[in-house]
Structure 1
């Protein structure tokens, strides 16, 4: 499985218009394409950041979709007031305890791998970090995306409410600190977002 993420640092006052555009125009178009498994949208109403992620059955179908989606991506940037940044990923891990309800929130951690043993890092995430994250109250799901060529990774953990997300911070930092030491990665950024659209129908990959 593969994923493409589009990150836009936009105008907070334009977020509602951006959500409507992705929901009403982008999502029907993208999910009709060959190989598309679904789409999600995360938003930070405080700073205007949004992350739209589409999932794909194969790398080939993801790449083939770009000719159709590039114009919509540009339009989304115009609506939200910021240039879209594109990243393509391999879906290394996906675990869902239950479907995210309305009001769910996510913590997204961007990482840089400082060694070439990506598979070792994935194994540590799967065997050591994921069980610990799942034990946190309010946990819905977690995914790990990797870009082997660029040496980057992205972990997204979803909780069933803003309160659960906030309550998880200290424990999550402890789990993450232990994991990144063992896996040999550097944390580049951490963002917390509302889950505006939850239609990323990735299968279980653990």
Structure 2
């Protein structure tokens, strides 16, 4: 699967306007596009951060959809958006364990690696990190998203509620430490979001 993420920061008091637009008009636009598999909207109301992602069956479907979404993105996110960054990634590993729900938590680790180590990173995540994450109580879904060309990626862990996410911090930190050491990966940021919307994804 292929993923497009939209990372937006702005005035926390205006974030709900953007969320409503993404969950109505934005979702309708996505659902009309061939190859669409699902989407998620995640927020940090305190700091004024919004992460939106859409999942696609092929790289071509993602690219074709962006031609349409680019025309509407700024209007959907006004007046909240102060900064906006779009990133295209491949779902190298994806595992769903249960149905996500509103009010859950998402933890995102942003990473950098030598593009030549993309396969090493993917295999290390699949064989070493994923089994440890799957033991965390309340885990809903986890994914490794990578940009092979530029050596960037994200590890996302979605939890059934915020309490489960908080309780998992030590366990995921241990898994992160082991994976980074084996795969020669650098963690550049760690963030947590509230789940506003997350579709059930295939796989």
Q: Please state whether the residue corresponding to 1:65 is helix, strand or coil.
A: helix
Superposition pairs for residues 50-65 of structure 1, below 5 Å? 50-65=50-65
Q: Please state whether the residue corresponding to 1:82 is helix, strand or coil.
A: strand
Q: 1:118-169 CA deviation, whole Å, 9 max, x = no partner?
A: 1111011011111101101111110110100110011110111111111111
Q: Would the aligned equivalents of 1:94 and 1:202 in 2 still touch at CA under 8 Å?
A: no
Q: 1:203 aligns to what?
A: 202
Q: 2:74 aligns to what?
A: 74
Q: 2:143 aligns to what?
A: 143
Offset, 1:83: 2.5
TM-score (norm 2): 0.96
* Aligned residue pair count: 203
Q: Equivalents in 1 of 2:39, 2:101: separation in Å?
A: 16
Q: Would the aligned equivalents of 2:12 and 2:49 in 1 still touch at CA under 8 Å?
A: yes
Offset, 1:115: 5.2
Q: Would the aligned equivalents of 1:112 and 1:151 in 2 still touch at CA under 8 Å?
A: yes
Q: Equivalents in 2 of 1:23, 1:118: separation in Å?
A: 33
Q: Would the aligned equivalents of 2:37 and 2:202 in 1 still touch at CA under 8 Å?
A: no
TM-score (norm 1): 0.95
Q: 1:123 aligns to what?
A: 123
How large is the Cα RMSD of the aligned pairs?
A: 1.2
User: Is the counterpart of residue 175 in structure 1 residue 175 in structure 2?
Assistant: yes
Q: 1:58-99 CA deviation, whole Å, 9 max, x = no partner?
A: 111111111210122112342313232000011111101101
Q: Equivalents in 1 of 2:103, 2:196: separation in Å?
A: 8
Q: Equivalents in 1 of 2:40, 2:79: separation in Å?
A: 18
Q: Equivalents in 2 of 1:177, 1:38: separation in Å?
A: 31
Q: Equivalents in 2 of 1:76, 1:84: separation in Å?
A: 12
Q: Would the aligned equivalents of 1:2 and 1:90 in 2 still touch at CA under 8 Å?
A: yes
Q: Would the aligned equivalents of 1:111 and 1:188 in 2 still touch at CA under 8 Å?
A: yes
Q: 1:191 aligns to what?
A: 191
Q: Equivalents in 2 of 1:41, 1:60: separation in Å?
A: 23
Q: Would the aligned equivalents of 1:114 and 1:186 in 2 still touch at CA under 8 Å?
A: no
Structure 2 unpaired stretches of 5+:
none
